[in-house]
Amino acid sequence: MTPRSETLLAGLKRHDPRAIGRAISAVENNEEAAADLLAALDQDLIDKVLVLGITGPPGAGKSTLTSSLIKTLRTQNQRVGIIAVDPSSPISGGAILGDRIRMMDHALDPDVVVRSMATRGRLGGLCASAGAAVRIMAAAGCEIILIETVGVGQSEMDIIRLADITLMVLAPGFGDDIQAMKAGLLEVADFLVVNKSDLPGSDALCMDMEQIFLKKQEETTIARVLQTVASENKGIADLLEAVNKFAEFLVTSGIKETRRSTALDAETLDWILEILRPRFMEAMKNNPEKKDPRIRAKELIHKNFRNITP
């Protein structure tokens, strides 16, 4: 282990905010210290942590919901980690990590650990670094980790893969978005949170959602469609209670274990591709051929596979 990873590891154990921040950067930036560090994290803590994914269309109130979840979790004395994901600009590669604003009220609470992350335009790469960030936060004592994403599409799917439990946040008036989502995201969500439920149309939306969720409801009797007014902290305690019950169910039924190992496989695959991509880019550059791509791929693998060292 390098001295730098040792320092970082000791810092994580002390819950030192600087060390947590640096450790996540080390992973994000692919620094050498990262591999050592990740290998040495306390696996027990990682197994125990509950990872909650929070997703939904822009404007439904995800950050407000996240913020009021933090508030409630803190009254229960839980140490909370938050990973807030924003998309990187495809043109400049930069990003505005704006969700931080809603979490500033917890800035001085040592038991609220926040990290804003940009997607950095990598296929699957986000999953890899966010997954590592989850493990770092767990090793630094966080008992529950919320992953919030405002990106739509691929990055949301990545995040959902990382989470033990996924909350989909909706609000009345998002009819079109919901139609578009039915096919994809809605199906992987464990909970549907109808936020801004003081607005007209909330009950109708709930009934619609319950219809869609009928099948999931067969697994357990825990209510899976819930109403909140996050800006007024309403419904948050009930939501957390349902989430906790469901988390217990996931553990006892062994589903959590399955989900985690699927996620780990996916993350491993991401890393394989991440490692291979530059090698094959290089190989293609060195052997420009006008062959059918599929045949060419097979040939390239055949020719290069044994030369590959990770």
**Looking at beta carbons only, is 150 or 243 nearer to other proteins?**
150
**Looking at beta carbons only, is 173 or 249 nearer to other proteins?**
173
First to last CA, the chain: 18
Closest contact distance (angstroms) between CB of 227 and other proteins is: 17
CB 134 within 8 A of CB 49: yes
Closest contact distance (angstroms) between CB of 116 and other proteins is: 5
Closest contact distance (angstroms) between CB of 102 and other proteins is: 7
110: exposed, middle or buried (C-beta count within 10 Å: 0-12, 13-18, 19+)? exposed
Closest contact distance (angstroms) between CB of 232 and other proteins is: 8
**Looking at beta carbons only, is 151 or 213 nearer to other proteins?**
151
Neighbours of 23 (CB within 10 A): 30
**Looking at beta carbons only, is 95 or 251 nearer to other proteins?**
95
**Whole-number Cα distances in Å, 41 to 23, 37, 56, 133, 140:** 11, 7, 32, 11, 9
**Looking at beta carbons only, is 30 or 253 nearer to other proteins?**
30
C-alpha triplet 103, 18, 26: angle, nearest 5° = 100
Give Cα 238 to chain centroid, integer Å: 23
Pairwise CA distance, residues 227 & 198, whole Å? 9
Pairwise CA distance, residues 7 & 19, whole Å? 8
**Looking at beta carbons only, is 21 or 299 nearer to other proteins?**
21
CB 86 within 8 A of CB 151: yes
Using CB under 8 A as the criterion, which residues of the chain lie in contact with other proteins when the complex forms? 4, 16-18, 20-22, 24-25, 28-30, 58-59, 61, 64, 88-89, 91-98, 100-102, 104-105, 107-108, 113-116, 118, 120, 173, 196, 199, 231-232
Closest contact distance (angstroms) between CB of 92 and other proteins is: 5
